[in-house]
Structure 1
Amino acid sequence: MTTLTHRYIDQVVGRVAADQRDDVATELEGLLADMVEERTAAGVPEAEAERSALTELGDPARLARRYRGAEEVLIGPELYPMFVLALRWLLPFVAVVALVTSAVDYAASTPVPHLGQAIGAVAGPLIQALFGSVGALVLLFWVLDRVLPVESREAVRRDVAPEWTVDALDDDPGSDREACSEAWASLVFLAVAAVLPVLPTSFLYVGHLNDGAPFVNQALWDFWIPTYYVLLAVGVVQAVWVLIRRRQTPGSLVLQAALTLVTAVFFTALVLTQQVIDPAIAAGPVQTGVHPLDWVDGLYVAVIWLVALWELWTLSRQWRTRRRSGRRG
């Protein structure tokens, strides 16, 4: 089976329920093999026969919907591409308008602005505007999906989403596009994480807790915080690697898995042996590293390893997908 067929099957089974995937993959492998064999027996070259068979089966997303059977959905597949397009344009516009309006209103009505208050004053209207916009858009498309005739909905779909062709399989698969999106999100997260050890309490308008000193115990600069920054730097290297290659490679997957394990061990040792929160803050039971160990320390460790195991499980799925599709680098 060629890489092209593997990619097609991967894009179908990735859209069906987990308990259906093995059966669907087996059925599609057999079906495509029979279709290709029938065409090659008639004298069609194998590569052309494969593309013809895939074209006959059509868009993997539509084929997956047939395998899933009847579904109760708010917005049907014909209008969904238009809904996503509208959402991509609407949300940034609403966010900018809400942010600017709230910021101007706060600055004009507050004699001595504070960052903590400003965040609260802006966040509330922003969240309300975003949720309201999404709700209104969903309601609009829900109504359209039920009042427009099928022919009109199909016309909308054709205008927004071009007809699927086999050439679409030559593009980066969805998992690779997701990998790039995750890499960008990871860089944003790492940038925020880099600020945490030096973030002062006064930044969030709670400087009275420890006279405006950082939330994190600054005594950890002896070893723990520098090591923390080394781990963040490795994370940046891994994310940039993915963005340069525009996909996850076996090497980047191995690096990410190793980094996940090392980071989990690091944070486990940190919370069990060190006071992470500034001792000047009366943190009470949420403080770490206070002997004897209590249930809160156990909760911290449980959360650390649940996150790590979830990440490792996700990486293992990506590894299996790459092996199944025959891709190496």
Structure 2
Amino acid sequence: MTVTTTLTDRYVWATLRTLPDAKRADIERELRASIEDAMEARLESGADPDEAERAVLLELGDPIRLAAQYAERPLYVIGPSMYPDWIRLLKLLLATVLPIAGLAVGTVQALIGSTIGEIIAEVVLVLLGTTMHLIFWTTLVFWIVERAGSTWQGSGWTLAQLPDLDDGKHVKLSEVIGALGFAALVAVLMIWQQNFSFFTVDGRPLPLLREENWSFWWPYVIVVLALDALVLVAVYGRRRWTYGLVATKAVTNLAFAIPAIWLLLADRVFTSAFLERLDWGTADPHTVLTVIGVLTIGISAVWDVVQNLIRARRARL
């Protein structure tokens, strides 16, 4: 009998993902064989296959603990009993608090008229400080609870905590939602900045983007980003990448990247008043923004194509 259910695959993947690549193949074979043997023993006793699988995985326990055993590394940052809860809480806090803090600080700095350089510096400082505080205080609380002689052995682990399988072949729902949300956000910000800007001149809002491009280029950008997101919707519907979908995604990437880079190089993106408003010392704002924009757009487009080709190849294996 071969165990190939999604639940078992998710458990195996959750165990292997923190192990060194060189050990994963051997450990995966050993772990799957162990699960299979344990299931066969239960099935011979008349157990239901699904229930037998769930019981075996629950007996194996938290994948974080199992991975540590395979890697022969102790979980003593906090203590074996509390470590899984500590690391999960810390990851959750970092993923939720940092984006909110960065956005809030950036918005406040922009509203008080700080330069781009000042905004970036302030955001970086706040993110570094917030990260240090989150790690320190979270660790301190767990340390105090453990050293106080608490009998608490953690919140317990259930199968519902298994992460979704990520085999590199598929598009996650979060990716689709992110792409659709990004396209919508760009459209809203492009329209918003025309009449409501962080920058003002004589009390009037200062648009960042050239108004004449609304005759074609800005609507074109919005449409292309929407089509790019819809390609991910199609991939999600197919449940895997194909070379045809990779080619379609590459076309939408190029349809955005080539005009965007050309507009940047031709100085047809930002308004002259906005560039004059930026005070970066001896650095030319147009040159700096163009270099950053071209590198970001170019690298992102190439990386996206390469990543999607890898996914399509894996889906064919």
Matched, 1:277 2:279: no
Please tell me whether residue 6 in structure 1 is matched to residue 31 in structure 2.
no
Q: Distance in 2 between matches of 1:189 and 1:228?
A: 12
Does 1:155 find its partner at 2:152? yes
CA distance in 2, matches of 1:118, 1:227: 31
Spell out, residue by residue over 1:221-257, the C-alpha distance to the aligned partner (whole angstroms, 9 max, x if none). 4543332111232355567x59xxxx94435856985
Instruction: Using the TM superposition, name which of 80-89 and 261-270 deviates more.
Output: 80-89
**Code of the aligned partner of 1:36:** M
Query: How much identity, in percent, do the aligned residues show?
Result: 24
Match of 1:56 in 2: 59
* Corresponding residue for residue 265 of structure 1: 254
- Structure-1-length-normalised TM-score: 0.60
Match of 2:297 in 1: 304
Letter in 2 for 1:135: M
Q: Which residue of 2 aligns with 1:142?
A: 139
| CA distance 1:79–1:194, change in 2 (3 Å) | same
Stretch deviating more after TM superposition (36-45 or 247-256): 247-256
The answer on whether the counterparts of 2:221 and 2:256 sit within 8 Å (CA) in structure 1 is: no
Deviations 1:201-239 (A, max 9, x none): 98232659xx96643344444543332111232355567
Counterpart among 111, 117, 131 of residue 113 in structure 2: 117
Moved more, 307-316 or 248-257: 248-257
Any conservation in 1 of the 2:241–2:308 contact (CA below 8 Å)?
A: yes
Q: What TM-score do you get using the length of structure 2 for normalisation?
A: 0.62
Mapped contact 2:9–2:165 kept (Cα < 8 A): no
Q: Aligned-pair RMSD on alpha carbons?
A: 5.2
- Quickly say closer, same or farther: Cα 1:124–1:49, change in 2 above 3 A: same
Structure 1 stretches of 4+ moved >6 Å: 118-130, 316-324
The match for 2:164 among 173, 178, 190 is 173
Q: Is the alpha carbon distance of 1:308 and 1:214 closer, same or farther for their aligned partners in structure 2, counting shifts above 3 Å?
A: same
Mapping 1:209-224, distance limit 5 Å = 214-224=207-217
CA contact (8 A) 1:12 1:61 kept: yes
Q: Which residue of 2 aligns with 1:232?
A: 225
Tell me if the contact between 1:194 and 1:229 (Cα under 8 Å) persists in the aligned partners: yes
Q: Distance in 1 between matches of 2:76 and 2:312?
A: 32
Instruction: Encode CA deviations 1:158-211: one digit per residue, 9 max, x unaligned.
Output: 2xxx3324x666xx72659x9344444444433332245453598232659xx9
In the alignment, which residue of structure 2 is the partner of 1:189? 182
Alpha-carbon separation, structure 2, partners of 1:48 and 1:202: 59
Matched residues in 2 for 1:122 and 1:284: separation? Answer: 18
Does the Cα contact within 8 Å between 1:57 and 1:63 map onto a contact in 2?
yes
Is residue 250 of structure 1 aligned with residue 238 of structure 2? yes
1: CA distance, partners of 2:151 / 2:19: 23
Aligned counterpart for 1:34 among listed residues 32, 37, 50: 37
Q: C-alpha distance in 1, partners of 2:206/2:307?
A: 38
State the distance in 2 between where 1:52 and 1:71 align. Answer: 26
The reply to whether residue 70 of structure 1 matches residue 66 of structure 2 is no
